[in-house]
Structure 1
Amino acid sequence: MDKLMDNRWFIKILALLLAILLYSTVSNKENKLTDINVPSNTTSATIKDIPVNVYYDTENLVVSGIPNTVAITIKGPITHVQSTKALKNFEVYVDLTDAKIGKQKVKLKVKDLSDKLKATINPASVTVNVQEKITKEFKVEAEFNASQVEEGYSAGQPVVEPNKVKITGAKSVIDRIAFVKATLEEKSKLKETITKEARVQVLDKDLNKLDAVVAPETVKVTIPIKNNSKIVPINIIKKGTPQDGITIDSIDLDVKEATIIGPEDILKDTESVRVEVDVSKITENTTLNLPVIISNGITKVTPQMVKATVLVKKQEEKTVSGIPLKIQGLSDSYIAEINDPANQIINLIVNGPSSMVDGLRPEDFNVYIDLSNLDEGSHEVNIQVDGPANVNWKPNKATAKITITKNA
């Protein structure tokens, strides 16, 4: 026995047999453990918002009815479920490569998913509509908020560049197109011409957006803005007649010009606006608030009211007596005799501002009759008066009776 233990080959063979015996023992224990009821190592998880890919003839067909995303529930070993949920390394798709035109129900499928997992897609199937794809050209209409135009300005016809776009989509969608608009979004007030990019919108008759591809997606919209205002003078118009003894010395406005707004052709022909002062009601210095009056067609004036300061002079009346009646224009071939008034004297009733009337004398007036072109005989001619400005007068006689004879 000692000799066998000393043999090297005997030792190696014995070690091999012990190793085989140990492996067999461990293997039997694992098999026995497998037969014991232990908790399951499988689980399930629902992954939401998984995008759906669609395979079809994109050049000639349009497909609708495919949801953008779906939810998928996977079931299998915990490690596989957790890894798949984290990586999302699979694809949900619909295969319409052999689909016919029209409505049809199709199943959603999944690929690139581990064969150790089972998958349930929600929804499992959908109804799709496969239609012929067509492209048609449409004119683009510009649209903007007219209330954004600054007061005193007006917007001209918008210009769109390019003014036509190509729209591609299902024939049923293209047939529903009622409006193709480019809406200019601008928050600030417009008082000068503006050009901006605007996105093209495709709408049906009820202004619902339609699902179609537009080329180009944006266009340039130009809104021409014109100035519709003008500055003009404010004219003063006197209405009525001053009361006896009152003279209107001056009328002065606190604002002498106004800004008017209106159509271009009306502005072109409008040179002024006015205020009206009823002088018949004024008896002393006063300040009036008066409306600025505009002509037809003008839509607005600024300011709408002005202050008018009216200065008056009260009049005085007096009689200037003893003014000689003179003869003018008589030919040297004739002699004229004034029969009436016999004393050849005229009295004037004068009225005007006190400061002027008080100092008036007979020599401040020239009272005469004009006998130019009169022949021999008796005549009745008008008495004429020249005198200072800013005063009024009335002679006590309006006419004179004369006799013209030849000079001997």
Structure 2
Amino acid sequence: MKSVFSNIPQKILVALAAVVIWYLVSLNNVSTSQKSFTVPVVLEGISENQIVSGAPKEVDIVVSGLSKQIDRLKPESFTAYLDFNQSSGSYDKRIRVDFPQGTRLISTSPATAIGTVEQISQKEYDIEILFETPLSQNSLFSARAEPKSVTIKGRESVLDKIAKVIAIVNPTNVNLNKIITKVVALDPDNQAISELEINPSEVTIFLEKSPILHPKVVDIVLEKPEIKDFIVDSVELSKNTITIVGPKAKLDKIEKITAKVDLDTQKLEAGTYNVKTVLELADGIAAMDLPTVKIVLSKIPELVPEIVPEAEGETNDTTNTPIRRPDTPENKQPNSGF
């Protein structure tokens, strides 16, 4: 039978190894560690008609705790948020972080956010069509956008910067009947403005080839107006010729243009008027400018019955009483000399 004291060195080594293993296991169960996470920032207390500037989309956090717990954590285990509580205007707020129990928040980067909360508005803008590069003189096109306007939504301070809204057409595509292109909002310096929601973001540009227009100078024939209850004493055109433009084939058939007086006859009084003209132009013909007319009107004198003394035996019948114009030479009685 072996003695219990045999192989003592080996037994001591085994015991020491067991103690070391137990110590390491115990140390791992109570050891702490640190770990960093990237967490999205939630904006609380913001309505649909508000927008926040200056708030970070994410924050980097460092937490510490028991190693076993830290190793099981994920970014979804944390919540980073800014609480605005329906406020508006400028803000300077600390970014709050909710973290699991048993852990400790070491740092948050960035720790604060500085910016503004603004109201969101929307406005309607007409679209201006621009060609990316100038067309050649022999290429004339008429262009229209469908729809003609867009609704732009954004911060009020950004909307106030919009000078115009354009749709750009590439001249290499002018042989197409229609082109779909993006809509861009520009500031007064013709720089594109971002942070806007444009609806629709694209429009259809319809292109139609237009005939080349030629100029021609022709005479103006004024049609003298007839105005009820007035005498037209004189009419005078501001000029006797006018420049018209149109296809050459149509211009060759035109030698003169008829002009009519555009005069509002309501509440008309005697006097001198400078009025516009209405030109009789064929389809496809346009005038470069409109002449004016100086017209002098006088009122037609009213007709009044002549009062004739009644003779004896005559009835008071004025049915056939002659009528004369007052103060006219032909109706004056001859001077008897007495």
Normalising by the residue count of structure 2, what TM-score does the alignment of the two structures yield? 0.48
Structure number with greater Rg is 1
Normalising by the residue count of structure 1, what TM-score does the alignment of the two structures yield? 0.41
Larger relative contact order (Cα-Cα within 8 Å, sequence gap ≥ 6):
2
Larger fraction in strand? 1
